[in-house]
Amino acid sequence: MSGFVEKPEPQQVPGLVHLHTGKVRDLYRNEAGDLVMVASDRMSAYDWVLPTPIPDKGRVLTQLSLWWFDQLSDLVPNHVLSTELPPGAPADWQGRTLICKSLRMVPVECVARGYLTGSGLVEYDDSRTVCGLALPEGLTDGSELPAPIFTPATKAEVGEHDENVSYEEVAHQVGAETAAELRRMTLAVYGRARDIARERGVILADTKFEFGFDGETLILGDEVLTPDSSRFWPAAEWEPGHAQPSFDKQYVRNWLTGPDSGWDRKSEQPPPALPQQIVDATRAKYIEAYERLTGVSW
């Protein structure tokens, strides 16, 4: 069992129809038929949406995504139409709201990996493959791969876990032409972002993208290259052979699975509220990621 510890009620805004409450984002449709995407401060871990928010997290995700969309604009089109606040929207939506094209989303998480860790490491240790792609012997946690790889996953509902799938399965699901374009665009965007991050002393270990069709054109949607969708490591501290320090929710994961939380991840009990020091440390890491990458003070 997993999902929301406390599922929030959607905001009622004149002219907007609530469509979906996700792990982090709330989706609405406006009268023009555009998607209104609001990034909350909700934190998810181990397939649970936790009861404790991380202040400013939604704004960091939104502003960092906008920065990355600008860096990638010559490489791939995106879904953003406006950052203007809808009339009658709560003041708290400022800085965390995007008006977007309504896309036909491709039901695939498009993951690019340049380094071995996470679920990829688990599969590699078992079979020397990731998503069926053979990798050389001798790699360890944090190793840089010979070349970036496309390792797609299914898109899970809230409370469920994304599952890695093979490229052949994606091609079967969405068609060979679309699968090939997803792979090409994913690796191209990853390569650009990896180089930009590297110039700023940050390793982009892996990331996931979502694409959708605007008519017949495949474009980049949702968030992009944030600490929620990517693993960012400080380059100066990179040392293969163990888990790397990172700019993301690792403080939360470590506390939840450590002795102080009192929570058994394998039980059906929801995780507890986060202590203030974990909230503060996690917020600081998200802001540090934003500042390191953009060069702009939060």
How confident is the prediction along the chain (298 residues), in pLDDT tens digits per residue? 468 998 899 999 999 999 999 999 999 999 999 999 999 999 999 889 999 999 999 999 999 999 999 999 999 999 999 999 999 999 999 999 999 999 999 999 999 999 999 889 999 999 999 988 999 999 999 999 999 999 999 876 654 567 888 999 999 999 999 999 999 999 999 999 999 999 999 999 999 999 999 999 999 999 999 999 999 999 999 999 999 999 988 889 989 999 999 999 988 899 999 999 999 999 999 999 999 999 999 9
* Angle of CA points 38, 221, 161, to nearest 5°: 80
CA 113, 116, 119, 120 torsion-angle sign? positive
| 28, 70, 96, 102 from 86: Cα distances, Å | 11, 22, 12, 16
Closest by Cα among 211, 180, 220 to 77: 220
For residue 64, how far is the Cα from the chain centroid?
Answer: 12
pTM of the model: 0.94
Encoded tokens for 71: 């860096």
CA 288, 198, 249, 92 torsion-angle sign? positive
